[in-house]
Amino acid sequence: MNSELEKFEKIKASGDLPSPRGVALTIMRLTSRDDVGFIDIERAIKSDPAFVGRLLKTANIAARERGRPVVSVPDAIKVLGITVVRNLALGFSLVSGYRVGACPNFDYGAFWSRAIVTALAMQAILRQTRQASPDEAFCCGLLADIGRLAFATVHATEYSRLLESLDLPPTAGDDAERMILAREAERFALNHDELTVAMLADWGFPQTLIEPIRFRHRPESASFAADSRSEHLLAALRLADGIAGLCLAAPSDRAPAMARLTGRSIALRIDLDMLEGMVDAIVRDWHDWAPMLSLDSPPVLPSFGAMLAEKDVVSEPPAAEASAAQAPLRVLVAAADATLRASLERLLIESGEQVFVVGDGEAALERALDVQPQVLIADWQLPVIDGLRLTRILRNTRLGRGMYVLIVTAPVEEERFVEVFDAGADDYLVHPINERAFLARLRAGARVVGLHEEVRRDHEELQHFAAELAVSNRRLHEASVTDALTGFHNRRYAMERLESDWAASTRSARPLSCMMIDLDDFKGINDRFGHAIGDKALVAIAGVLRNALRSNDTICRVGGDEFLVISPDSDATAIAACARRLMVAVAALKIDSGRGIVPCSVSIGVATRGETMSDTAALVKAADDDMYRAKPGGRRPADLPYA
């Protein structure tokens, strides 16, 4: 460790290392003082409007669960804390100051795109697992590869030659990363992970957050205690790397990227449904952040579910419709010992099985999700993730619950075998392998797999029927609450939605308003022009409402010619202004009946929730009464008392 610090100090002494500038430098200097106050930091932040926007964006992501937007710098500092604000200023300063550089073969745009996706992924993962502050994790994710940028800045020409000689894709896996790390260490006496750790420590990042970066591409070298915070953060960083790799991968590279990603998520007990929502949200946030940081526009990606389906199509085993008894078993062998792997692979191939072989526990996880084996043969002493822990992790997944698991172990006391079964294994093998005993256990496994396959097919058939029934039920429900003519929801839905918005208004103390809208002289239109033209007028007015109102307003047809609009977060002034806009828009309608233009106007009553209102009925009645006061003939825009 001391030698690393000495090497870092030599690089630092060159004066060319990436460093904060402008407002970030000011904030870092202020926060290093004991007598600094909020007002000083606030004043420094406000001197950089671009940083203000990025800070508010981060604070609003952090405060999503509060339900109230963060709109001021003081509120943002309170939500995030001074330490996070300081680190954000540092990170965003580096993004702005090092978008281009003198290293020809270093892709600066791809570097920062990967950095922001990694940051968003770390934030999302830690918000889910709650092992550290999500906002601190965002900062660490943003700068987790800063050592690469440092080499490209300090040794631009030499680093460019190194990258050119390797010619690796930006989404390369661990093997390629290890190759880069080795070449960097040969040339510069430090690799970029070690340099990143030294730089973040020098900038004052917490050691517990940055130490896992050292082992992100070689987790087998980490000596963190099992289930410790450091081990968890290392797994989170590797999952964030996997998410970034998937987002930046070419379509042809998504299958292996997906396998790496899903394997790492299981180690954190994040199932596929949770992962799907997480990745889709990260991609959406990426599209928001990229223009804010002046980065390249992100590619248009399919949803995570679509990418997962593509992977499953590619990796689906052949002859899936054949029974387990007839088709070869898909067997995954995970063993560190090359002799043991070769022996098991030979026996399985001679038995006609489909065999996949890996050398460590993490690779076994990734491969298991890729090929979906029916039988797993795992060495107890696997590196990275041992055989028993691998079994426990897989048993917590839908895929692993139906897998037949054999643990290979050296001869041990009988009591130790209890651990094998407690971990969820079905049987064990003693090394060196007895071929006859192994084949007998394999046949037993095949019978169990066959039974699982029958149960699975029955379950899938039931699921298919249940899904069809659920779709039918949803359609029936939608039909029961939807007006066929306008496509708006009906009175039944309106009352349910109003109750929900009333409860939300009570919790958040936010305003809630509504409008009752009535088409004037609708009976006269029907009598004069016919019901078909009356329907045409209703559809035209529905179009005006749909185009003029906000996406979070709810529009319902509650009577023949009456509409109710529920408007959360609108006070009396806002709802009155909205009513005026609607009346102007409706009055401008030109509906040709074939016998002349149909005159259209509406009367609108508005009401805002007040202290004297006890329930939703009182709110609707207030709007209804206001509408009837507007009759007869309907109010014109200029006649509105609140115009």
Taking the C-alpha atoms of residue 378 and residue 373, their distance in angstroms, rounded to an integer, is 12
Residue 517: phi and psi, rounded to 5, are: -120, 130
- CB environment 451-477: b (16+ within 10 A), e (fewer): ebbeeeeeeeeeeeeeeeeeeeeeeee
- CB environment 341-380: b (16+ within 10 A), e (fewer): bebbbebbeebebbbbbbbbbbbbbbbbbbbbbbbbbbbb
3-state class (DSSP) for residue 542:
helix
Q: 63 with 123: CB under 8 angstroms?
A: no
Q: Can you read off the two tokens belonging to residue 379?
A: 């060495």
Taking the C-alpha atoms of residue 603 and residue 515, their distance in angstroms, rounded to an integer, is 10
Start-to-end CA span in the chain (Å): 72
* Amino acid 638: pLDDT: 42
* Amino acid 635: pLDDT: 45
Query: Edge-to-edge strands of the sheet including 427-430?
Result: 354-358, 330-334, 375-379, 404-409, 427-430
CATH of 491-639, one of 3.40.50.170, 2.40.50.100, 3.30.390.10, 3.30.70.270: 3.30.70.270
* Amino acid 474: pLDDT: 67
Taking the C-alpha atoms of residue 243 and residue 179, their distance in angstroms, rounded to an integer, is 21
Q: Which CATH number is 330-456 given?
A: 3.40.50.2300
Residue 641: phi and psi, rounded to 5, are: -65, -20
Strand partners, 607: 514
pTM for the full predicted model: 0.54
* Amino acid 430: pLDDT: 87
The mean pLDDT values, 10 residues at a time, for the chain of 643 residues are 66 74 77 70 79 79 63 79 81 85 89 91 88 83 90 90 75 72 86 89 84 85 80 90 88 78 76 84 88 83 78 41 57 91 90 90 85 90 89 82 88 77 88 86 86 74 68 71 84 89 87 92 87 89 86 86 91 90 88 83 92 91 89 49 40
Distances (CA, A) of 136 to 55, 203, 263, 333, 615: 13, 13, 25, 39, 43
3-state class (DSSP) for residue 500:
helix
Taking the C-alpha atoms of residue 152 and residue 160, their distance in angstroms, rounded to an integer, is 7
Taking the C-alpha atoms of residue 434 and residue 240, their distance in angstroms, rounded to an integer, is 42
Question: How many residues are recorded in the chain?
Answer: 643
Q: Can you read off the two tokens belonging to residue 229?
A: 């915070």
- The CATH superfamily holding the domain 2-12+100-307 is Hypothetical protein af1432 (1.10.3210.10)
* Amino acid 632: pLDDT: 58
Taking the C-alpha atoms of residue 349 and residue 407, their distance in angstroms, rounded to an integer, is 19
Residue 373: phi and psi, rounded to 5, are: -70, 155
CB neighbours of residue 15 within 10 Å? 8
CB neighbours of residue 182 within 10 Å? 11
Taking the C-alpha atoms of residue 429 and residue 614, their distance in angstroms, rounded to an integer, is 71
Strand partners, 606: 515
Cβ-proximal residues to 327 (8 Å cutoff; 6+ apart), any chain: 317, 319
Q: 630 with 582: CB under 8 angstroms?
A: no
> Where do the DSSP E strands lie in 522-629?
554-557, 562-568, 591-592, 597-598, 602-608
Domain range annotation of the chain: 2-12+100-307, 19-97, 330-456, 491-639
Q: 347 with 323: CB under 8 angstroms?
A: no
491-639 matches 2-12+100-307 in CATH topology: no
Q: Where are the alpha helices (DSSP H) in 130-228?
A: 134-142, 146-154, 156-166, 174-188, 192-202, 207-210
* Amino acid 2: pLDDT: 56
Query: Edge-to-edge strands of the sheet including 554-557?
Result: 554-557, 562-568, 512-519, 602-608
Taking the C-alpha atoms of residue 63 and residue 59, their distance in angstroms, rounded to an integer, is 6
* Amino acid 325: pLDDT: 38
Taking the C-alpha atoms of residue 529 and residue 540, their distance in angstroms, rounded to an integer, is 15
- CB environment 18-45: b (16+ within 10 A), e (fewer): bbbebbbebbbebbeeeeeeeeebeebb
Region at 348 (left for phi over 0; alpha for psi -120 to 50; beta for the rest): alpha
* Amino acid 265: pLDDT: 80
* Amino acid 492: pLDDT: 86
SS3 content of the chain, % helix, strand, coil (to 5): 60, 10, 30
Cβ-proximal residues to 57 (8 Å cutoff; 6+ apart), any chain: 288, 289, 292
3-state class (DSSP) for residue 381:
coil
Question: Which of the 8 DSSP states describes residue 592?
Answer: E
Q: Which helix (H) or strand (E) holds 564?
A: strand 562-568
Strand partners, 558: none
